[in-house]
Amino acid sequence: MVDVDMLAERLDKAARDALPVAKLTDRTPFDVPTAYAVQRAGIERRRRRGERLAGVKMGFTSRAKMAQMGVDDVIWGLLTDAMLTESAVDVSTLIHPRIEPEIAYLIGREVRSPAEVESAVTGVAVGFEVLDSRYRDFKFTLQDVIADNASAARFGVGAWHPPRDVSNIGLLMEIDGRAVETGSSAAILGDPARSLRAAARLALGAGMKLEPGWIVLAGAATAAVSLPKGAHVRVTGAGLGSVEVTA
Ligand code: OOG
Ligand code: MG
């Protein structure tokens, strides 16, 4: 039997101490359902510390990300209010942070089936995600990264816009005024709305519902880049404006 709580504690401690650990599967092989159980146990630890669920993040929804990380299955993780970042992220609390552009959806009412998720969306925005694998060298298997809540660390969103077609909008990520990644939202499963529906399906399959006020991050359209201390990052989505963050 895999000790789910023990594995969750190891990752939780790595995050709290900002010290990486060896991949869990090096010592303990486990399957994907067990990996999600570890993820959930980690979220429960956060909830016991007072954090509240704030949404869902999708991972590996673009080829750019799959190729960067060598993992080729769509995964998901949970976001909490403590991960939401306004304009600054303190990278000294993180291990080896990376940042990536995201498309974000705002959920306006409880989603009881994947078919109703699009009508439940009340806003779309450009966003960013700061990833911080708790594993040494940012290297992991599919099971490891799922257990590690899909490397979630921080996220931010720009101004919300009324729901609209964001199936093919240009995305630009700049660091200190220099373009570092460009892409199209179409890289996200052909249309980030597919990722949104998958988020609703996965949540329901796990006995949860997307709740009013929750944010869904549809996944990065480009590779993630390292986020050094002092960096100023701007992510722009055509027609959606920009969101900025300083490390
Ligand atoms: C896992 C998280 C992937 C995305 O948008 O594809 C992700 C990782 O790359 O460490 O958030
Ligand atoms: Mg992401």
89 alpha carbon – ligand 1 mean position (Å): 18
With a 6 A CB cut-off, is 65 part of the ligand 1 pocket?
yes
100 alpha carbon – ligand 1 mean position (Å): 8
Cα separation, 104 vs 56, in Å, equals 10
pLDDT single digits (tens) 73-122: 899 999 999 999 989 999 999 999 999 999 999 999 999 999 999 999 99
Cα separation, 105 vs 33, in Å, equals 26
pLDDT of residue 73: 87
With a 6 A CB cut-off, is 145 part of the ligand 1 pocket?
yes
| Domain span at 55 | 4-246
With a 6 A CB cut-off, is 219 part of the ligand 1 pocket?
yes
With a 6 A CB cut-off, is 129 part of the ligand 1 pocket?
yes
Ligand nearest to the CA of 133: 1
pLDDT of residue 229: 97
- Indicate which residue's Cα is closest to atom 11 of ligand 1: 59
pLDDT single digits (tens) 16-64: 999 999 999 999 999 999 999 999 999 999 999 999 999 999 999 998 8
225 alpha carbon – ligand 1 mean position (Å): 11
Question: Would you tell me how many other CB atoms lie within 10 Å of the CB of residue 113?
Answer: 11
| Three-class SS of the chain | CCCHHHHHHHHHHHHHHCCCECCHHHHCCCCHHHHHHHHHHHHHHHHHCCCCEEEEEEECCCHHHHHHHCCCCCEEEEEEHHHECCCECCHHHCCCCEEEEEEEEEECCCCCCHHHHHHHEEEEEEEEEEECCCEHHHCCCHHHHHHCHHHEEEEEECCCECCCCCCCCEEEEEECCEEEEEEEHHHCCCCHHHHHHHHHHHHHHCCCCCCCCCEEEEEECCCCEECCCCCEEEEEECCCEEEEEEC
pLDDT of residue 193: 96
Least confident span in 72-76, 127-131, 240-244: 72-76
- Indicate which residue's Cα is closest to atom 4 of ligand 1: 59
In the predicted structure, residue 1 carries a pLDDT above the cut 90: no
pLDDT tier, 70 (very low <50, low <70, confident <90, very high otherwise) = confident
Q: Which residues pair with 128 in a beta bridge?
A: 101, 156
79 alpha carbon – ligand 1 mean position (Å): 13
Q: Residue 61: which CATH number?
A: 3.90.850.10
pLDDT of residue 226: 98
Ligand nearest to the CA of 76: 1
Q: Which residues pair with 183 in a beta bridge?
A: 171
pLDDT of residue 196: 97
pLDDT single digits (tens) 148-204: 999 999 999 999 999 999 999 999 999 999 999 999 999 999 999 999 999 999 999
Number of structural domains in the chain: 1
In the predicted structure, residue 71 carries a pLDDT above the cut 90: no
